[in-house]
Amino acid sequence: MLRLMGEFGSGKRAPTPRRGAFPSAPPSIVYPRATANTATWIGHSTVLLQLGALNVLTDPVFCQRAFPVQWLGPRRVMDPAISIDQLPPLDVVLLSHNHYDHLDKAAVRQIARAQPRATWVVPLKLGAYLRPWGLREIVELDWWQATSLGGLTVTATPARHMSARRAGDRNRTLWCGYAVEAAGMRFFFAGDTAYHPEFSEIGERCGPFDFVMIPIGAYEPRWFMQRVHVNPEEAVKIYTDLVAVHPQARAPLMLGIHWGTFRLTTEPMDEPPRRVAARWREVGLDVDRLWVARFGETRRVEGRG
């Protein structure tokens, strides 16, 4: 950590873009519930999935700084595409782990007050953090455990990462991704992860997928970040691992997440989309299957049929 802090302060870090520097689009959210399947990128790893009559939210982070206090730490370059008050009625919230850029205490409390009937699916042992914040319905999952929630099946999937929220709690709670099945369609949310050899098994067990959300940002310097975050080329490798085990199925749409929102690492913040698109072309994937979204953009997700 000391070496990393030294690199951040030594001028090796690329300049932080001005506030609002990245393209945005007005979200197309259906209230209270949709009939089609859509995804809306709110920012970072926060995605609203409208799966027909079900509304699912991933890693809801709406704070201005990904830090224990809001007067210090990484500040947003891009504001959330919608506010918490603009969320439709939520059925399920998926939390991947407890880092501050994925678990926003103030947002959890506000959503808990506004939407007390939502079920929160979280990694093993994270519930103890969340119950004092006002959550009523919590399901904890270990890797490969699944739960059924009113027409939705959620499976926790392995990830290579770590957890820490405060002094003395390092790796006391689990981290994970999620595979989701609803109305015959299958979705994958990778959470926060480095590359690991289990993605083929995730694809085999839980696929074929119609839509996948894979992180593409926060990866430099590699001597530090390679153990916890994929780079764009590894994100494409995750995708190919997921789809290779179902060669006859239509390739899923991939949304690149975890970039452009918070300054967390040293690479240029606008670099991840360029690198992931270049690697996508290099390996011969269909360009229509890669979605580098504008902030707030909504896209319909079509089924394999």
Residue 7 lies in a domain: no
Compute how many other C-beta atoms are within 10 angstroms of the C-beta atom of residue 211.
Answer: 25
Specify the higher pLDDT residue, 193 or 14: 193
- Across residues 73-96, what is the average pLDDT? 95
Please answer whether residues 166 and 205 qualify as being in contact, where contact means their C-beta atoms are separated by less than 8 angstroms. no
Residue 82 lies in a domain: yes
Cα 235 to Cα 233: distance, rounded to the nearest angstrom:
5
Residue 16 lies in a domain: no
Residue 187: phi, psi to the nearest 5?
-130, 150
Instruction: State pTM to two decimals.
Output: 0.95
Distances (CA, A) of 162 to 128, 159, 211, 283, 300: 17, 9, 25, 30, 33
Give me the CATH number covering residue 161.
3.60.15.10
Q: Give pLDDT, residue 14.
A: 79
Residue 303 lies in a domain: no
Residue 256 lies in a domain: yes
Residue 29 lies in a domain: no
* Structural domain that includes position 143: 35-297
Residue 265 lies in a domain: yes
Number of structural domains, the chain?
A: 1
- Across residues 191-195, what is the average pLDDT? 97
Q: What is the pLDDT of residues 197-242, one digit of tens each?
A: 999 999 999 999 999 999 999 999 999 999 999 999 999 999 999 9
Q: What is the DSSP annotation of 36-59?
A: SEEEEEEETTEEEEEETTEEEEES
Cα 35 to Cα 212: distance, rounded to the nearest angstrom:
20
Q: Give pLDDT, residue 5.
A: 72
Q: What is the pLDDT of residues 280-297, one digit of tens each?
A: 999 999 999 999 999 999
Residue 43 lies in a domain: yes
- Across residues 20-37, what is the average pLDDT? 96
Q: What is the pLDDT of residues 118-141, one digit of tens each?
A: 999 999 999 999 999 999 999 999
